[in-house]
Amino acid sequence: MIKDSRKAIVSWALYDWANSAFATTVMAAFFSIFFSSYWSLDQDSSVTTFWLGVANSVESLIVAILAPMLGAIADSGSYRKKFLVFFAFLGALLTGCLGMIHAGAWVAAMFVYIIANIGFAGANIFYDALLPTVASEKKVDFVSALGYSLGYIGGGLLFLVNVLMYLMPTVFGLPDDGGISAVKASFVMVAIWWIVFSLPIFLFVKDDKKDDGLTIGKAVRKGIDDVKTTLHNLRSLKMTALFLVAFWCYIDGVDTIIRMAVDYGASLGFPSESMIVALLITQFVAFPSALVYNIFGKKVGHKRAILIAIGAYGLISIIGCFMTNVWQFYILACMIGLFQGGIQALSRSYFTRFVPKGREAQFFGFYNMLGKFASIIGPFLVGAVTLVTGSHRVGILSLVLLFLVGGILLYKVDEEAGIRATQEFSLMEKNA
């Protein structure tokens, strides 16, 4: 496939538009609200926070274990797009199933949510791994940012419709039952949206073809061997390894804030309508910010721009600990929107500089694995600290440590040394 093709770039970026509906409507908003107010209505709020953290952590653990092996398998047999299709359909199908779970069935809701998250995260491994096939090094930063920006606006638009359904159900022909029917319908709409807008990447983005002729079975065995080899070779790719550990730490805090913000706002007594408005603010601020932050990254340097975003997230955690009013929650929503897309897009494109050619899916498997392992620690940490101390504020404040450690490690990454080591690694493999 020819790199920098407009059709391929737009088709690739539209997948972010497609799956971000899950991240906004389901993950960030309605699942948290519905879990505490419908599926586990009789539970104490601190217990609900704990189990929500457990659900996110279990999903993350499963994906973390599978991610590097799946990436290696995809690289071995050119199965990237096939795995993307499989996991996208899995996530969408289980998201639709959330709309069929009855009140009080919190165990079933957790199980279905975990599988839907596995589909969401698993598909992202192969979506990320296709980035170097559609964009050259010259355009990879822009294309990565374009994906995130389309994701924010796409996810935000459907979320806006879902919010209006929740606030004014009769206008949409739904019963006025406290938003229950609206939320269930929203889960089904997300599933349909996800599949429909995934069609362009399914149809117009081509995977790199390899002549190894590996069957799935042989690719599995070779994939496992490749994972072992990669773990060994990371010793010589020290800057790649250092960046991955830094990413592990700081993205932990980012993902935890995304997943737990609504639950935290509910614990402070903020009305659900205000929290939904805050999420909408985040989405629509993040849309232009993701692209603008890419320009900012080019001016000050990608590493420096990521470090600034990490510092901003640390400040957000501190402010969040002490906030008492809804208007402060709105200000934090604006701050998160300013930096969320930037830190995600720049981290993904910055990592491409440290990935050996031909090993994209495998290394992005590690990239997503560490991101998911981080997502195990963060939600569980917030949930456990909240349960032990009885204070949601102390729980959210614990995230500052993750941003601090991640920032220090990233500061030590030597980009030039990392690129040289990656090129030498690729040359060695080619000559082997």
pLDDT score for 17: 95
Q: State percent of the chain over pLDDT 70.
A: 88
Distances (CA, A) of 68 to 71, 83, 89, 324: 5, 13, 21, 42
Mean pLDDT confidence for 336-354:
86
d(CA 86, CA 94): 12
d(CA 16, CA 70): 20
pLDDT score for 377: 73
Residue ranges in 106-139 assigned as alpha helix (H): 106-129, 131-134
| Higher-pLDDT residue of 278, 88 | 88
Q: Is the pLDDT of residue 53 over 60?
A: yes
Tokens of 14: 């539209």
> Rounded to two decimals, what is the model's pTM?
0.74
Taking only the tens place, the pLDDT of each residue in 137-169 is 788 888 888 888 888 889 889 999 998 999 899
Structure confidence at residue 107 as a pLDDT band (50, 70, 90): confident
| Higher-pLDDT residue of 49, 353 | 353
How many residues in total does the chain contain?
A: 432
Mean pLDDT confidence for 167-194:
94
Mean pLDDT confidence for 214-218:
66
d(CA 230, CA 224): 10
d(CA 352, CA 354): 5
pLDDT score for 101: 92
Distance of CA 400 to the CA centre of its chain: 20
3 state DSSP class of 135 = coil
Sign of CA dihedral 49, 267, 382, 124: positive
For the chain, the helix, strand and coil percentages under 3-state DSSP, each to the nearest 5: 85, 0, 15
d(CA 108, CA 198): 27
Nearest to 9 by CA among 156, 151, 125, 139: 139
Q: Is the pLDDT of residue 409 over 70?
A: yes
d(CA 322, CA 317): 9
Q: What is the mean pLDDT of the chain?
A: 83
Lowest mean pLDDT among 64-68, 74-78, 263-267, 274-278: 74-78
Q: Is the pLDDT of residue 60 over 90?
A: no
d(CA 7, CA 22): 24
Nearest to 127 by CA among 144, 114, 139, 152: 144
pLDDT score for 188: 97
pLDDT score for 39: 82
d(CA 389, CA 378): 16
Nearest to 68 by CA among 371, 347, 352, 343: 371
Mean pLDDT confidence for 114-142:
86
pLDDT score for 97: 96
